[in-house]
Amino acid sequence: MDIREINSEADVRRLVKVAREVWREANVSFCTAEQVEYMIERFQSFEAVSGQMMQGYRYFVVEEDGEILGYFGVQPQGERLFLSKFYIRKENRGRGIFSLGIGYMKALCRESGLTAIYLTVNRHNTHAYEVYLHSGFSVIDEEVNDIGCRFVMDDYIMQAEVG
């Protein structure tokens, strides 16, 4: 398995294809199908990802034999690294991809002089919440944000210090 930063239009198109698949599978247990489709278009479409990258977001894919197993998107914000997205294809979960990605992000933080990684996780996404807790993240706050079309993000804000 290798982690590689994406930087081409072809890479973004490949990532978006995986994102559509993973978001539909991973989010339907705590969001309606309508909200999932709205969020895909708003946050993970080709236009959305390209725009995020122009605003300083960096996207990385975890690949094996040319296949994307998972991906994550981050953005430095002040003294911390914001983990915007981290998704792993269902058939590849349990293979250490999450730990590999978190380790990679911690190395990015050390290289850039950042002190912590923080993220938001839906309060009803109990699996992701527990995985982050197990990986050294703790809840530092809660927030509810209107994302449009009568949808809200009801999240915990979690953070892990980088040692």
Q: What is the pLDDT of residues 57-68, one digit of tens each?
A: 999 999 999 999
pTM: 0.88
CA–CA separation, 160 and 126 (whole Å): 18
CA–CA separation, 139 and 160 (whole Å): 9
Domain at 23, CATH number: 3.40.630.30
Domain extent, residue 67, equals 2-161
Percent share of the chain, pLDDT over 70: 88
User: How many domains is the chain partitioned into structurally?
Assistant: 1
